[in-house]
């Protein structure tokens, strides 16, 4: 496809229905794996022209398109790299959020060179005061940067990425955020076991905020997954991180969900197995802080069992020779 055909391509693509977009998308994505640079650039140019799609079709396509464009930014052929950068610029040009519009250059730099520019982009996002919702094209550029930030070795970078993720729960529309959950969730779950407590706390709060915004139906198995380390003979850091993350998630779910799980939690807090008892007592320590005043409905029973567990532990300790 020649560069001169691009305006015509944009016009045609803008008329596509949602069903047509779904039909052509696999072929275009397969073209990115083509053997020749011309095949790749042709597919990239058509993908870039999807910026002209109607908002509904665009929001459905972006979670698939942007990650693949980021992949070909590292292609060995300079023409492919340049086409990918141009396509990303086209998506940046349709961003409606005025705060993100000003940050598009920094965001694109982070996508092109994540090693050097992820942290500056995260800093720019944190220092921005948002007064408008983050639209779908904005999310498409931000999410890959958050994904990268959450797996960085530097704790400060992980903290910033998790903090922004928590803010997105407030600043985005539910329907725009849901398609990115499978990309975003692994990151904060990894940060839960970070040895730095502040990083763990921020990641926990981000998980809880997303859970409260989108509902448990969009996080199948997450509650059960966070219970597993509490019953496992793993490190104390892992148990503490899971307990803190679970407390924030349950706070997002609300008191009724906590009440349904409380009997089992209290029973496990009295477990004869030391590491199980430790895991669930840690959860009971976090719950009052995350639930705040709303926790008074269950505080009395929790405190009684908590004290009994401590008494048992102290009695066993005194009896040791």
For 222-265, list the strands marked E by DSSP: none
Q: At which residue do the structure tokens 């498409």 appear?
A: 140
pTM passes above 0.95: no
pLDDT value at residue 263: 86
Residue 172, phi then psi, degrees to nearest 5? -125, 160
Q: Are the CB atoms for 192 and 165 separated by under 8 Å?
A: no
- Based on C-alpha coordinates, what's the Rg of the chain? 24
Write the burial class of residue 251 (CB in 10 Å: 0-12 exposed, 13-18 middle, 19+ buried).
buried
Residue 203, phi then psi, degrees to nearest 5? -65, -40
Residue 225 exposure: Cα atoms within 13 Å on the Cβ side:
12
Quick one: tokens of 80?
């492919």
Q: What is the DSSP letter of 134?
A: B
pLDDT value at residue 8: 46
Cβ neighbours, 10 Å, residue 134: 23
pLDDT value at residue 55: 65
Q: Are the CB atoms for 140 and 63 separated by under 8 Å?
A: yes
pLDDT value at residue 226: 97
Q: At which residue do the structure tokens 């779910």 appear?
A: 253
pLDDT value at residue 3: 45
Helices marked H in 172-235: 174-177, 181-184, 186-191, 197-214, 222-227
pLDDT value at residue 317: 44
Q: At which residue do the structure tokens 């009052």 appear?
A: 288
Distance between CA 48 and CA 92 in Å, rounded? 10
Nearest to 278 by CA among 234, 218, 225, 214: 234
pLDDT value at residue 135: 86
3-state secondary structure (DSSP) of residue 172: strand
HEC-encoded secondary structure of 19-35:
HHHHHHHHHHHHHCCCC
Per residue of the chain (321 residues), give pLDDT as tens: 444 444 544 455 555 555 666 677 788 888 899 889 999 999 998 888 877 766 667 777 788 888 889 899 989 999 999 999 999 988 888 888 999 999 999 999 999 999 999 999 999 999 999 988 898 888 989 999 999 999 998 999 999 999 999 998 889 999 889 999 999 999 999 999 999 999 999 999 999 999 999 999 999 999 999 999 999 999 999 999 999 999 999 999 999 999 899 889 988 988 889 999 999 999 999 998 898 877 776 666 666 666 666 676 656 544 444
Q: Are the CB atoms for 145 and 121 separated by under 8 Å?
A: yes
pLDDT value at residue 245: 97
Cβ neighbours, 10 Å, residue 152: 19
């Amino acid at each position: 496809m020649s560069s001169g055909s691009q305006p015509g391509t944009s016009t045609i693509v803008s008329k596509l229905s949602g069903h047509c977009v779904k039909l052509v998308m696999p072929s275009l994505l397969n073209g990115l794996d083509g053997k020749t640079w011309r095949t790749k650039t042709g597919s990239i140019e058509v993908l870039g022209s999807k910026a002209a799609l109607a908002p509904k079709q665009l929001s459905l396509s972006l979670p698939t398109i942007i990650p693949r464009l980021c992949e070909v930014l590292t292609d060995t052929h300079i023409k492919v790299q340049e086409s990918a950068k141009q396509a990303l610029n086209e998506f940046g040009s349709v961003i409606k959020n005025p705060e993100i519009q000003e940050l598009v250059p920094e965001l694109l730099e982070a996508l092109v060179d994540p090693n050097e520019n992820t942290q500056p982009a995260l800093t720019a996002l944190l220092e921005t005061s948002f007064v408008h919702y983050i639209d779908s094209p904005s999310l498409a550029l931000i999410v890959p940067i958050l994904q990268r930030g959450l797996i960085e070795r530097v704790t400060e970078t992980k903290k910033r990425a998790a903090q922004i993720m928590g803010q997105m729960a407030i600043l985005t529309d539910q329907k725009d955020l849901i398609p990115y959950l499978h990309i975003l969730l692994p990151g904060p779950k990894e940060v839960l076991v970070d040895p730095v407590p502040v990083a763990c706390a921020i990641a926990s709060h981000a998980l809880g905020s997303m859970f409260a915004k989108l509902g448990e139906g969009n996080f199948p198995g997450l509650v059960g997954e966070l219970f597993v380390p509490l019953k496992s003979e793993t490190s104390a850091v892992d148990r503490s991180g899971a307990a803190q993350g679970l407390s924030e998630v349950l706070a997002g779910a609300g008191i009724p969900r906590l009440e349904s799980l409380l009997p089992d939690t209290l029973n496990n807090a009295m477990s004869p197995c030391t590491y199980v008892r430790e895991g669930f007592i840690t959860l009971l320590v976090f719950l009052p802080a995350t639930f705040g005043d709303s926790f008074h409905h269950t505080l009395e029973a929790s405190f009684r069992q908590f004290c009994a567990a401590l008494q048992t532990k102290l009695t066993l300790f005194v009896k040791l020779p």
